[in-house]
Amino acid sequence: MKSKKAPTLNQRIRSDIESRILSGEWEPGYRIPFEHELMEQYGCSRMTVNKVLTTLAESGMIERRRRAGSFVARQPPHLEHVALEIPDIAVSVIQRGHAYGFQLLEHAHRKARAGQAEELALVGAGKLLAMRCLHLADGKPLALERRLINPEAVPETLEVDFSVQPPGSWLLQNVSWTRGEHRISAVAATAEEAALLQVPAGTACLTIDRQTWRGEQPITWVRQKFLGDAYDLIARFAPGNR
Amino acid sequence: MKSKKAPTLNQRIRSDIESRILSGEWEPGYRIPFEHELMEQYGCSRMTVNKVLTTLAESGMIERRRRAGSFVARQPPHLEHVALEIPDIAVSVIQRGHAYGFQLLEHAHRKARAGQAEELALVGAGKLLAMRCLHLADGKPLALERRLINPEAVPETLEVDFSVQPPGSWLLQNVSWTRGEHRISAVAATAEEAALLQVPAGTACLTIDRQTWRGEQPITWVRQKFLGDAYDLIARFAPGNR
DNA sequence: TAGTGGTCTAGACCACGCT
DNA sequence: GCGTGGTCTAGACCACTAC
């Protein structure tokens, strides 16, 4: 026996409308009942139906026009914005049923190098923590990571032993951030990278660059190169998200 | 002179709270004022502050616990979910300041082939529209696309002249969908693909597989292979989105 | 068990924009 | 002009949970 919580009236109205739209019963452009009609139909106050319709409009599923009514959106929520998952590598490997391994290859606390734009962007003239590490799945190399951390934003980072814990996992669990930017591309592994990843030089790698900030202060920059055939990103989209 | 619309009380309260959190004045874990305190502070009813706090909780910026209060979220909204832009290629190329070009290489209306899982998933035993095309930027190959369309979901598609208009652009403008799934990886171009893209065989390509549905009905499946060094995806994250 | 958030009501006034 | 949605009020009852 499954005993479900009684859904709230709000949820009932919302799912009623959503399923009519998704089933195609109410096609794009269809004028859905006015708020006062829904009030009567569900025997509730206007605030309740208004909240539902406002939420649906924010999610992009309907459009509302004063004096005209509310309509099933002609363009379903933008294709350009889909939810992309970029999980912690360690968690992701374990979830896929492999053993996770990690090697810290380099570790330095030094000034930013003049030629490295990403280093200067992170700390300016100050010092940074620079690391290079290798992620393994079932003992085989999966990804190569170059990681920079701004110790001014995260002083505790100087005390952490990153030979045990990957910096990405530690940061995810311990440091909060407010903004991030990712760039995803495909590149061929250089000879040196290929050697570390134990693949032929030129092998296609999925490359993710990510920088995160807290407010205006940069926290970390990372470039991860994944073996293209061993790792992929998945993005899903369903209405109601945006 | 800039004359702004007076923001609603709701918006004022929301931005007040957001800016305190983002500035760090209210750190993660901080207990924000109770609803009745905010009511008094802003001289408004409880519904108004409740709506603001509920919205902030949905966006992941705060957490609410009965009998305890509302708290600045310890983990800012999930890293795993960032907004990824996957725009129309034609639009994207033009936006980047290049001339867009398009070539339809193959075009067939036929049954799904037994060995092709993606074809069977799309139309089962029915017919499908199969295309192959090349996207160009400034006359140079940028991406190779294999596109399948389910004519049962989109009958009009049989009338469209895809030698003029890329199928992706047409679909985006004319067909609504409710669900999508993307897979992003890096692969080496095969000899044949490399020839079409005018690059050496084995060149790293950013590969995007996408399938979309309307309700339970599959609409289209597409695999795009972009030259890795000529194209990248950008994903941004900022609080308030999810 | 007391106080918080979760939900809902039955009104109200206003701004906008079809007609 | 007038009907729609946009916003807000001043209550209410309930469920949950920290104390």
**Choosing among B8, B27, B92, B178, which should be mutated to test the A contact, i.e. which has the most A CBs within 10 A?**
B178
The structural domains of chain A, ordered by start, are: 9-72 (1.10.10.10), 83-236 (3.40.1410.10)
Q: Which phi and psi angles does B173 have, rounded to 5°?
A: -85, -25
Most confident region among A94-98, B121-125, B147-151 by mean pLDDT:
B147-151
Is the predicted pLDDT of residue B242 greater than 50, yes or no? no
Query: What percent of chain A is predicted at pLDDT more than 90?
Result: 48
Dihedral, A188, A190, A194, A200 alpha carbons, nearest 10: 60
- Residue B42 and residue B7: Cα distance in Å, rounded? 14
Q: Which of A28, A183, A234 sits opposite B234 (nearest CB)?
A: A183
- Residue A241 and residue A235: Cα distance in Å, rounded? 12
| Backbone angle region of A49, left / alpha / beta, with phi > 0 → left and psi within -120 to 50 → alpha | alpha
Q: B65-75, pLDDT tens digit by residue?
A: 999 999 988 76
Q: Which phi and psi angles does A100 have, rounded to 5°?
A: -95, 140
Is the predicted pLDDT of residue B94 greater than 70, yes or no? yes
Among the ranges given (A16-25, A32-41, A58-67), the one the predictor scored with the smallest mean pLDDT: A16-25
- Residue B228 and residue A188: Cα distance in Å, rounded? 8
Token pair 């799309």 is at which residue? B122
Dihedral, A242, B71, A182, A60 alpha carbons, nearest 10: 10
C-alpha dihedral sign at A192, A193, A198, A204: negative
Ordered DSSP codes for A41-55: HHT--HHHHHHHHHH
Average the pLDDT over A8-21 and give the result. Answer: 90
- Residue A166 and residue A159: Cα distance in Å, rounded? 14
Alpha carbon distances (Å) from B226 to B143, B150, B194, B220? 4, 24, 11, 19
43-102 of chain A touching strand C, CB 7 A cut-off: 43-48, 65-68
**CA end-to-end span of chain A:** 35
The reported pTM is 0.71
Q: Which of B184, B215, B238 sits opposite A233 (nearest CB)?
A: B184
Q: A45-83, pLDDT tens digit by residue?
A: 999 999 999 999 988 889 999 999 999 887 655 555 666
Dihedral, B174, B175, B178, B179 alpha carbons, nearest 10: -110
State the nearest residue by CA to the C1' of C7: A8
Length of chain B: 242
Any CB–CB contact under 8 A between A96 and chain B? no
Token pair 């190569």 is at which residue? A144
- Residue A217 and residue A214: Cα distance in Å, rounded? 5
Residue B240: predicted pLDDT:
41
Residue B2: predicted pLDDT:
43
Residue B76: predicted pLDDT:
55
Q: A165-218, pLDDT tens digit by residue?
A: 899 888 877 777 777 888 888 999 999 999 999 999 999 999 989 888 887 789
For B40-177, where are the E strands, in sequence order?
62-65, 69-72, 82-85, 100-111, 127-137, 140-149
State the nearest residue by CA to the C1' of C8: A48
* B19 CB below 7 A from strand C atoms: no
- Residue B147 and residue B237: Cα distance in Å, rounded? 30
